[in-house]
Structure formats: structure tokens, C-alpha cells
């Protein structure tokens, strides 16, 4: 999203593709055939030219080819229609070649902007002020705790901030402790891509000097954090999890990296992401779950979840398109917040889907996620989908003023049931609801595949597959989705948004419901957090509940989640990190 000469992928100049050529099809085909024949030494020059001319002519689309391709388009034509369409194909192909000939960096945006408010005219007005059931809450002052280095690793942000301001510890000491733990445990977890030690120590020294002089930037001042390696950080490589970009440096940092710097946070490491934001497998192997190192941490915010769960950083930033915050947070038993689409700027983050990408925090507690969101949310001129909507933290919720949904047409996991039980004890009104499952949400995520295939089309054209996990097959398949079908999917998506707006006329928040595909398509915010401990080998581990709220209502989401978290008291547990047996 930031313009950068170094951020554009340039395939090997020797790799040639019909689709990337600006030449007419016949000219390209003739020249290609001449090069092949000449290099192979086949026949005389006259013979080579004649054969190349015939090969070029054969590149014209025939009625028979159209007939065999009709299944892709989902139509059946008459023979007369096939003849007419064959005659029109050269003009279409020429236009497409002209489009392909325009050089575009990966970060170039689409002019099509997804608007989660499109179906609900009240959403914007509601989101410009606090909901009536929310009131501001003064941050509780934690007790002073001159913790040991081991204890420091598990303290919430408010407690760390108090220790910094009382000078019980310094930001430099806290930063060095994180750096040491990252080095110690990364050989098992494989969650670190790049240590940013020089930057971290500069930022930590600045934080100590500022706090000593009375300058206080807020809750994150002097607190170490980790960035998913989809976020550009000036001066450091940004690999996106693939070997092709292992040494690439993008000159301008992501907007949210700059915002965290302005908040006084200290970046200690860039953390692993699955290749091009898929899974937990990246070019240095698989990132591991601290609760069970034989298991991957899930993805694609794999390193962010693993590092937070292991106590290596107090918080990290991840991104989600279709589960990449929610899934690793659940796997690793940490708190993850996927904000409303557009709540947080994506400028400087790897684009995967222009209509679905969403950055957000992963941390040890719900409260911690609230403080991080407070620092990073808001509109950004570099991301036209980003918006300014009300958010503040900390807040408290009056449960008597809201309706909590229990999803009846989807599974209720044990952790979700535990959350509902806690809410019932606290006096919340529980309302049965159904989610709109009749609209085939995972079929609609074809839109994601098409957008991703467009972003990374140079890989497909050049035949590059190394280190891309299963993306090459997805990219290839997506090129057979017609523009008509993409737009048809967008119409179904709008209907899905309308159905979800109706759901939030009945409730203000709902628990569980297996809504990953639905809520990512509609742009609604989701919070996952540990709610129960479960007996699993090789050690007990947390399981997470899931809450989903109305658009831009993260404050309600976090306030309710915090009430459950306090009753569940699962955050006290810590993993014992053991080397993998596999």
C-alpha cells in the first residue's frame, strides 16, 4: 500500500509469458515460435518462418474452443453465437493485454472499496458515539510488584506501565528481558523472523528518558511488542513468509508501526507469518504452539500468537483475512481481537484481499487488547478503506442494557458455553438467534481468492511456486473465475450483510456460532480469549470463547469479554515450553 521501488516483485527477465506481453497475440506467438525453432536448429530459416506463421494463426480463438470453455462461463451458446464470439475475441484479448502491460506494484489498490456500513444507514451514526450501556472507567491502579524477570514476562500492560512509571524497572531492562526470552525460546517455537534489537534499545532508552522527564505517551509507553512480518518496518526486511522476499526492505513503515512508535511502544522483533498469510509454515519451517510444540501454532499470525502465548512479548500485531487472528489465538490460547473492517489502517501491510484484510492485536488479556486498539485505530489517507469511528478504553458495560445472542444453528463449544454460563450468572439477557447460513459464505470467499490471485499474478505468470504453500493452485484456479461471477459473489455478500444487520437488530453481541466465514465477509469485529482449561496432552491448555459484536462496537465486545475473563481466571496459567518430539 505504500509505494516503494523495492516492494515490487520482478520475475526473472528470462521468463516470458503471453499474458504479460503488450504485443498482439499473433506477433508474440510468431516471435516466440521463431526463437524456439532457431534455438533448436529445426529446418531452414524459410521453413522456420512459415511454421511460425501457422503457429501464430492457430492462436486465434475458434468456435470449438469457445464450446469447450462454456462450462467455465456457466453458459451454453448456439453455433451462430460461437462464431460471433470467436470473431470478437481478438479485440477482447488485445484490451486485456493492454491492461496487463501496465506495470503495477503489489501494493497498488483496487478502486473498488468495501463498505461494511453499506446496508445499514444507522451504523455510521451509532458508531460516532459510545453505546448507551457503556461508561468510562478509570484505569485501576495495579499494586506495585517488583517482579522477577520471569514474572515480568507474564504481567499485563497496566501493571508493566505502573512499574515503569514508579521506576521499579526500566524500559531498557524490560526490553532486554524480552530479547533474551526471544533468543532462548525461538529455537523451539520458530516464531522470530528478525530481531530488531538496535531499534528496540533506541526506543527503550527514549522511553526511559521521556518518562523520567514527565513526558507520558500513554499505556504502551516503554512496552515491548512484536510485529507480524507482513508489516513493513523501515530498515528491516519484510519477507511476507516467502523466500523470494527474504532480503527485501520496504523503505516506509506501515502506518500502525508508526502509530505504535508514536505511542512509545518498543518493537523487539518481526514475527513469523505463514507464506503469503497462509498457515504457520514459512520459509524457515513451521512455527510451534507453546502448549504443544509437536503442533503448529496455526496461522497466519503464527509468530504473533506463539510469542505472546510463550511470554516472549507483552503484545503483538497480527492480521486477518479469513481466520488469521482468530485461529492462532485459539490454538495458542491467547486473546485476539479482529477489529471491524476499516477500523485499523492497512497501509504498509501485505495486501491479500482488499475487501477483507484487517489488522489487530494479540495479547495476554482483554484489557491489553483494548489499550493497543486505542493506539492504532483511526482513518489514514494511505488506506482509503480506513475510517474514524468512536472508540475509547477502558470502558465498563451495564449488562442489563444489552442483549446477548446464543446461536442455535451452529455449534456451541465448551468454552462458548462457559462464557454464556458466566454471563447468565451476571444477569445478562440471553436471546436465541440464528446466523444466515443459507447463503454459502465459504463459496462467497471465492472473492478473496480472486483478489489474492490479482495481487500475486506475477508469481502465477512466471510459474513461481517455491515456498508458497498451496497458494499456486489457488491462484491458478482463481484465474478461471469470471468477472461476472466475482461480481455475482459480491451481490450475495451484500445480501449476507443485510441478513447480519437483521441479526444485530435482535442482539448487541453474540457468543460462538462458528461464524468465521460470515463475520469476515461482513466486516464485523470478533474477540477470542481463554475461557476454560482443558485436559490435553502433553499439558493442560486454555480453550477460547468467541464473541462477535455490531460494526465498530469493539468497546462492548471488550467490556463484556473482560467480565467473563475475570470470572474464568484462565490467564494465570502458563505453558511449559518443551522441545518437539517430532
Q: Active-site residues: which are they?
A: 228, 300, 324
Query: Are residues 527 and 336 in contact, defined by beta-carbon separation less than 8 angstroms?
Result: yes
Query: Are residues 10 and 35 in contact, defined by beta-carbon separation less than 8 angstroms?
Result: no
CB neighbour list of residue 252: distance below 8 Å, 6 or more residues apart = 2, 3, 4, 232, 234, 348
Query: Are residues 531 and 413 in contact, defined by beta-carbon separation less than 8 angstroms?
Result: no
C-alpha–C-alpha distance, residues 238 and 240, integer Å? 6
By three-state DSSP, how is residue 235 classified? coil
406 preceded by a cis bond (ω within 30 of 0): no
C-alpha–C-alpha distance, residues 480 and 477, integer Å? 6
Query: Are residues 131 and 556 in contact, defined by beta-carbon separation less than 8 angstroms?
Result: yes
Beta bridge partners of 267: 225
C-alpha–C-alpha distance, residues 296 and 293, integer Å? 7
Beta bridge partners of 543: 532
Return the H-helix or E-strand segment holding 123: helix 123-126
Closest alpha carbon to 565 in 369, 403, 408: 369
The cell numbers describing 240, all together, are 511476507
C-alpha–C-alpha distance, residues 240 and 227, integer Å? 12
Secondary structure percentages of the chain, helix, strand, coil, to 5: 40, 15, 45
* Residue that has been written with the C-alpha cell 443459507 in this structure: 438
Return the H-helix or E-strand segment holding 337: strand 335-338
C-alpha–C-alpha distance, residues 529 and 569, integer Å? 11
Whether the CA torsion 320, 324, 328, 333 is positive or negative: it is positive
425 preceded by a cis bond (ω within 30 of 0): no
Q: Order across the sheet with 358-363: list the strands.
A: 192-195, 266-271, 224-228, 315-320, 358-363, 335-338, 526-534, 541-549, 509-511, 403-407, 429-433
CB neighbour list of residue 443: distance below 8 Å, 6 or more residues apart = 489, 492
Residue 184 burial (CB count, 10 A):
12
Radius of gyration of the chain (CA): 26
Amino acid at each position: 500500500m505504500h509505494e516503494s521501488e523495492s516492494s515490487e516483485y520482478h520475475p526473472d527477465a528470462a521468463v516470458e509469458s503471453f499474458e504479460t506481453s503488450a504485443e498482439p497475440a499473433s506477433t508474440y506467438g510468431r516471435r516466440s515460435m521463431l526463437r524456439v525453432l532457431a534455438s533448436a536448429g529445426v529446418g531452414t530459416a524459410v521453413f522456420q518462418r512459415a511454421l511460425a506463421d501457422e503457429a501464430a494463426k492457430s492462436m486465434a480463438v475458434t468456435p470449438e474452443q469457445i464450446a469447450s470453455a462454456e462450462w467455465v462461463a456457466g453458459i451454453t451458446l448456439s453455433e451462430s453465437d460461437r462464431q460471433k464470439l470467436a470473431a470478437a475475441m481478438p479485440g477482447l484479448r488485445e484490451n486485456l493485454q493492454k491492461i496487463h502491460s501496465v506495470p503495477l506494484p503489489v501494493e497498488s489498490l483496487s478502486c473498488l472499496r468495501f463498505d461494511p456500513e453499506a446496508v445499514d444507514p444507522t451504523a455510521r451514526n451509532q458508531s460516532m458515539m459510545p453505546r448507551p450501556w457503556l461508561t468510562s472507567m478509570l484505569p485501576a491502579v495495579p499494586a506495585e510488584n517488583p517482579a522477577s524477570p520471569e514474572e515480568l514476562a507474564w504481567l499485563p500492560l497496566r501493571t508493566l506501565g505502573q512499574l515503569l512509571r514508579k521506576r521499579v524497572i526500566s524500559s531498557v531492562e524490560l526490553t532486554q528481558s524480552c530479547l533474551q526470552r526471544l533468543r532462548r525460546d525461538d529455537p523451539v517455537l520458530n516464531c522470530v523472523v528478525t530481531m530488531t534489537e538496535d531499534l528496540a534499545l533506541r526506543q527503550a532508552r527514549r522511553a526511559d528518558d521521556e518518562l523520567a522527564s514527565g513526558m507520558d505517551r500513554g499505556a504502551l509507553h516503554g512496552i515491548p511488542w512484536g510485529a507480524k512480518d507482513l508489516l513493513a518496518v523501515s530498515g528491516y526486511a519484510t519477507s511476507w513468509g516467502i523466500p523470494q522476499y527474504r532480503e527485501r526492505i520496504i523503505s516506509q513503515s506501515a502506518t500502525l508501526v508508526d502509530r505504535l512508535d508514536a505511542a512509545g511502544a518498543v518493537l523487539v522483533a518481526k514475527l513469523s507469518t505463514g507464506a503469503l498469510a497462509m498457515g504457520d509454515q514459512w520459509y524457515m519451517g513451521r512455527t510451534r504452539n507453546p502448549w504443544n510444540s509437536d503442533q503448529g501454532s496455526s496461522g497466519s499470525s503464527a509468530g504473533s500468537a506463539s510469542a505472546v502465548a510463550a511470554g516472549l512479548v507483552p503484545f503483538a500485531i497480527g492480521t486477518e483475512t479469513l481466520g488469521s487472528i482468530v485461529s492462532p489465538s485459539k490454538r495458542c490460547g491467547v486473546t485476539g481481537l479482529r477489529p471491524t473492517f476499516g477500523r485499523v489502517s492497512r497501509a504498509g501491510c501485505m495486501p491479500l484481499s482488499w475487501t477483507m484484510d484487517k489488522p489487530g492485536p494479540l495479547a495476554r488479556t482483554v484489557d491489553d487488547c483494548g489499550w493497543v486498539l486505542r493506539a492504532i485505530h483511526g482513518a489514514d489517507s494511505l488506506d482509503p478503506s480506513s475510517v474514524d469511528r468512536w472508540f475509547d478504553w477502558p470502558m465498563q458495560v451495564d449488562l442489563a442494557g444489552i442483549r446477548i445472542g446464543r446461536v442455535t444453528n451452529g455449534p456451541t463449544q465448551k468454552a462458548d458455553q462457559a462464557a454464556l454460563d458466566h454471563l447468565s450468572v451476571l444477569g445478562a439477557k440471553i436471546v436465541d438467534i440464528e446466523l444466515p447460513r443459507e447463503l454459502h459464505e465459504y463459496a462467497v470467499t471465492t472473492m478473496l481468492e480472486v483478489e489474492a490471485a490479482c495481487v500475486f499474478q506475477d508469481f502465477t505468470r512466471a510459474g513461481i511456486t517455491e515456498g508458497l504453500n498451496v497458494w499456486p493452485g489457488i491462484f491458478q484456479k482463481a484465474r478461471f473465475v469470471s468477472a461476472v461471477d466475482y461480481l455475482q459473489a459480491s451481490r450475495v455478500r451484500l445480501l449476507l450483510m443485510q441478513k447480519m444487520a437483521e441479526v444485530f437488530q435482535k442482539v448487541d453481541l453474540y457468543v460462538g456460532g462458528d461464524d468465521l466465514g460470515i463475520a469476515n465477509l461482513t466486516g464485523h469485529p470478533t474477540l477470542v480469549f481463554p475461557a476454560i482449561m482443558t485436559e490435553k496432552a502433553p499439558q493442560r491448555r486454555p480453550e477460547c470463547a468467541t464473541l462477535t459484536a455490531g460494526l465498530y462496537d469493539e468497546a462492548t465486545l471488550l467490556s463484556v469479554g473482560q467480565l467473563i475473563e475475570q470470572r474464568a481466571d484462565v490467564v494465570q496459567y502458563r505453558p511449559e515450553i518443551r522441545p518437539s518430539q517430532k
